[in-house]
C-alpha cells in the first residue's frame, strides 16, 4: 500500500552519498523524485567512491557533488545557501571496524562531535524543513536466537553492544536535544542489516563474493550461527523515501525485514549464485573457523510494524533477487575515484613529479593558490575550506634560493632564519592544523636529511626507524626540518589522518628536470661510493597515494629498500642506458669521504613498515626496471 506524501522535498542534501547505502539511495531517489535537485556531500572515507553513483546521475543537471566534511561549516553553509536546501538526508557516519573498535575516540569525533557541528550549521541556516537522521538497529543490542523472540520496537531499551552503536546512540541523544531545544524538524530511521551493490569489500557479502569467485575457504567467525536480517538496499531506500514524505517529526521508525539467514547459509547462497553467473558447475562452499571478533552480536531483530502502519512501507525484494543484483554488480569491472587532492608546493621538483603520478592514476587534484606565510592564515583556511577536496599534500619547502642552488642558501642571519622557518616548518604545521579542523586527510612530505651515520647506525648496520628522532644538525635546513618532523608527532595521534613521510635524495627518470638527482649525478666526474637511502619518486609517490586512499596516518620512511651508493646508481645507468658516463668512485676510506660523512646527512632509513603496508621494489631492482623502460622508449 502506497501512502500519499504529506511532505514534498525540492532541494535535497544527502550526506555520505558516495558510501554504500548513501550512493544506492542517490541512485534510487534521483528517479523517484524526478523534480528534485540533489547535492551529495561526502568526505570519501574508506568505503566511499564517487563512482558508486550511477553515471546517468553524475551527468544529471539535478545532481551536484561537494567533497567536504560535515563539520566544515563554511562549505556546508555555502551549499545550503547557494542551493536553497530544504531537506537533509543524513547518512554520513564512520562505521569502519578499524576506526570504531580500535580508534574509538576518533569514531566519536566523526559520528558525534562532527555531527553536532553539522546540526549547529543546520540551525544557523534556519531553513531546513525536513531532516532525516539515519541510525542503526545496533542501538538495541543483542536479540535472542529463540524462535519466539519478539522484534525490538522503537521504544525498546537501548543497549549498545559495540562502540559504533554507542556513537549512534550519542547522535540520537543530540537529535532529541536539538529537537526539544531548537525545534529542528528531524525524523530518525533505524536501519536493519543491509546488503546490495557498492558495499565495502571488508563486509561479509562482498568478501564472500570474492571468496566464491576464487572457490576459496569461507572464514566463519565463531560458530557461524549468528543470525542477520537481510534488507536489500533498494527496499531501504524506498523506506527512507517514505520516512521523508510521511514520517512524523520527532518520531523514530525501524526499517528492516523479518527475513533472516546465518552467515554459514549465506555462504551457500552466494557460492551458488556466483557459480551460476560465471557459467560454471556449482561446488559447495568449504569453511574455515576463526575466532569470533569482539562486539559480534548474535542477532539484531527489529519490528517494522510502525513503518508498515504509518508509512505504508514494507520490503518487497526477495533475498534471491537482491543477491542476484548484488553479485552481478560485484562481477562488473569498474573504475574508482576515492580522493580529490589539493597540493601545496606543487610547482617544485617533487611537486611536479607528484602531479605526474596523480595524472597517471586519474586522481583529480588542484594546486592551491594561497601560500602559507605569504597570504594570511585566514585567507589560506578560507580557500582550503571551499576547495572541495578530501586530501591535502604539503610539498612546500625551501632547499635553495637566488644565487645559490643548494641548502647553503639557508645559512645566514635573521632573514634566512625567517625564510627557513616559514617555508620548512610553519607552512607544514599550520596546514596540518587546518586539515584537522576542517576534516581533511593530510600528507606532509618531509625529509630524512636529519639523520646521519653514527656509532649506533653505522654503514651496513641498523637503519633509522620511524620512531627515531633527528641526529644530524649540520645545516640550518636539517635543524628546522628536524623540528618539523617532531611537530608532526602531535598530529600522529591514534586515528588522526595525518601522514608524515620522510624522503631522501628524491630521484626521477626525467632527465630534463634540472633538480632531478639523476640528471645531476650522470654528469659528475666523481661520486660518493657509500650506500644511502633513495626515494625513487615514481615508486614511492604511488605507494604514498595508496596509503592516502586508505587514509593512513603516522610517520613513514618513504624510501626504496636496500641503500645504494650514487656511484652504483650511475654504474647501473651506464650499463643499461649510456655507456659514455664514467665517474670515479670516492671510497668510504678516503679523507674526502670521511669529511662528507661528518658534514652531510648521509644515512639509511629502515623500510620494514613501508614494506608491510605499501611495498615497493628495492632501489637496485627499481633502477634496473626504470632504466630498461627508458631504453625501450
Q: Which of 69, 137, 353, 423 is catalytic?
A: 137
Catalytic annotation present for 621: no
Distance from C-alpha of 332 to C-alpha of 209, rounded to nearest angstrom:
12
Q: Which of 138, 245, 353, 606 is catalytic?
A: 138
User: How many other CB atoms sit within 10 Å of the CB of residue 52?
Assistant: 24
Helix (H) or strand (E) holding 132: strand 130-136
* Sequence-separated (6 or more) residues with CB below 8 Å from residue 46: 96, 98, 200, 550, 551
Distance from C-alpha of 151 to C-alpha of 584, rounded to nearest angstrom:
81
Helix (H) or strand (E) holding 181: helix 163-182
Q: Which of 164, 195, 300, 409 is catalytic?
A: 164
User: How many other CB atoms sit within 10 Å of the CB of residue 58?
Assistant: 15
Q: Is 287 helix (H, G, I), strand (E, B) or coil?
A: strand
Distance from C-alpha of 196 to C-alpha of 416, rounded to nearest angstrom:
59
Distance from C-alpha of 493 to C-alpha of 373, rounded to nearest angstrom:
26
Distance from C-alpha of 432 to C-alpha of 439, rounded to nearest angstrom:
10
Q: Is 528 helix (H, G, I), strand (E, B) or coil?
A: strand
> Do 182 and 122 contact (CB within 8 A), yes or no?
no
Catalytic annotation present for 137: yes
Distance from C-alpha of 392 to C-alpha of 551, rounded to nearest angstrom:
11
> Do 118 and 73 contact (CB within 8 A), yes or no?
no
- Alpha helix positions (H), 247-360: 263-277, 305-311, 319-330, 349-360
Distances in Å between the alpha carbon of 180 and those of 167, 187, 249, 425, 589? 20, 13, 11, 47, 78
Catalytic annotation present for 49: no
Residue 536: which of 565, 567, 511, 504 has the closest Cα?
Answer: 504
Instruction: Give the length of the chain.
Output: 633
Distances in Å between the alpha carbon of 583 and those of 160, 521, 569, 573? 69, 9, 11, 11
> Do 560 and 622 contact (CB within 8 A), yes or no?
yes
Q: Which residues are catalytic?
A: 137-138, 164
Amino acid at each position: 500500500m502506497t501512502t500519499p506524501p504529506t511532505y514534498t522535498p525540492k532541494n535535497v542534501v544527502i550526506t555520505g552519498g558516495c558510501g554504500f547505502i548513501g550512493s544506492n539511495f542517490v541512485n534510487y531517489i534521483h528517479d523517484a523524485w524526478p523534480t528534485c535537485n540533489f547535492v551529495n556531500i561526502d568526505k570519501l572515507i574508506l568505503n566511499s567512491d564517487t563512482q558508486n553513483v550511477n553515471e546517468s546521475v553524475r551527468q544529471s543537471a539535478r545532481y551536484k557533488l561537494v567533497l567536504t566534511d560535515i563539520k566544515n561549516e563554511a562549505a556546508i553553509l555555502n551549499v545550503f545557501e547557494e542551493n536553497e536546501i530544504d531537506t537533509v538526508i543524513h547518512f554520513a557516519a564512520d562505521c569502519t571496524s578499524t576506526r570504531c573498535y580500535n580508534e574509538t575516540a576518533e569514531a566519536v569525533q566523526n559520528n558525534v562531535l562532527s555531527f553536532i557541528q553539522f546540526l549547529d550549521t543546520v540551525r544557523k541556516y534556519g531553513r531546513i524543513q525536513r531532516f532525516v537522521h539515519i541510525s542503526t538497529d545496533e542501538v538495541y543490542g543483542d536479540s535472542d536466537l529463540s524462535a519466539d523472540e519478539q522484534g525490538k520496537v522503537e521504544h525498546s531499551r537501548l543497549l549498545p553492544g559495540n562502540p559504533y552503536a554507542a556513537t549512534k546512540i550519542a547522535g540520537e541523544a543530540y537529535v532529541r536535544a536539538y529537537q526539544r531545544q531548537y525545534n529542528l524538524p528531524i525524523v530518525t530511521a533505524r536501519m536493519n542489516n543491509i546488503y546490495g551493490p557498492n558495499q565495502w569489500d571488508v563486509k561479509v557479502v562482498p568478501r564472500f563474493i570474492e571468496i566464491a569467485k576464487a572457490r576459496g575457504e569461507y572464514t566463519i567467525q565463531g560458530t557461524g550461527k549468528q543470525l542477520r536480517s537481510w534488507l536489500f538496499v533498494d527496499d531501504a531506500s524506498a523506506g527512507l523515501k517514505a520516512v521523508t514524505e510521511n514520517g512524523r517529526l520527532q518520531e523514530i521508525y525501524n526499517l528492516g525485514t523479518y527475513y533472516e539467514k546465518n552467515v554459514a547459509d549465506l555462504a551457500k547462497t552466494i557460492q551458488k549464485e556466483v557459480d551460476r553467473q560465471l557459467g560454471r558447475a556449482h561446488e559447495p562452499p568449504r569453511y574455515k573457523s576463526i575466532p569470533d571478533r569482539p562486539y559480534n552480536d548474535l542477532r539484531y531483530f527489529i519490528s517494522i510494524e510502525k513503518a508498515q502502519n504509518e508509512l505504508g512501507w514494507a520490503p518487497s525484494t526477495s533475498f534471491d533477487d537482491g543477491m542476484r543484483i548484488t553479485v552481478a554488480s560485484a562481477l562488473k569491472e569498474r573504475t574508482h575515484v576515492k580522493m580529490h587532492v589539493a597540493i601545496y608546493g606543487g610547482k617544485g621538483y617533487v611537486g611536479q613529479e607528484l602531479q605526474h603520478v596523480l595524472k597517471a592514476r586519474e586522481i583529480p587534484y588542484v594546486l592551491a593558490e594561497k601560500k602559507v606565510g605569504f597570504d594570511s592564515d585566514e585567507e589560506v583556511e578560507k580557500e582550503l575550506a571551499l576547495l572541495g577536496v578530501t586530501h591535502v599534500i604539503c610539498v612546500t619547502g625551501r632547499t635553495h634560493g637566488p644565487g645559490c642552488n643548494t641548502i647553503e642558501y639557508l645559512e645566514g642571519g635573521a632573514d634566512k632564519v625567517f625564510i627557513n622557518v616559514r617555508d620548512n616548518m610553519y607552512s607544514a604545521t599550520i596546514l596540518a592544523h587546518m586539515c584537522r579542523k576542517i576534516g581533511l586527510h593530510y600528507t606532509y612530505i618531509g625529509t630524512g636529511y636529519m639523520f646521519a651515520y653514527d656509532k649506533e647506525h653505522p654503514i651496513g648496520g641498523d637503519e633509522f626507524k620511524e620512531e627515531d628522532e633527528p641526529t644530524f644538525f649540520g645545516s640550518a635546513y636539517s635543524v628546522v626540518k628536524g623540528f618539523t618532523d617532531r611537530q608532526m608527532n602531535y598530529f600522529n595521534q591514534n586515528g588522526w589522518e595525518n601522514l608524515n613521510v620522510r624522503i631522501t635524495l628524491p630521484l626521477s627518470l626525467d632527465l630534463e628536470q634540472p633538480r632531478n638527482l639523476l640528471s645531476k649525478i650522470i654528469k659528475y666526474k666523481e661520486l660518493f661510493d657509500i650506500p644511502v637511502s633513495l626515494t625513487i619518486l615514481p615508486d614511492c609517490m604511488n605507494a604514498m597515494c595508496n596509503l592516502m586512499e586508505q587514509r593512513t596516518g603516522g610517520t613513514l620512511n618513504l624510501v626504496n629498500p636496500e641503500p645504494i651508493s650514487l656511484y652504483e646508481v650511475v654504474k647501473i645507468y651506464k650499463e643499461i642506458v649510456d655507456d659514455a658516463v664514467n665517474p670515479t668512485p670516492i671510497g668510504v676510506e678516503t679523507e674526502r669521504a670521511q669529511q662528507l660523512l661528518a658534514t652531510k646527512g648521509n644515512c639509511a632509513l629502515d623500510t620494514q613498515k613501508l614494506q608491510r603496508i605499501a611495498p615497493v621494489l628495492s632501489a637496485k631492482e627499481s633502477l634496473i626496471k626504470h632504466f630498461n623502460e627508458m631504453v625501450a622508449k
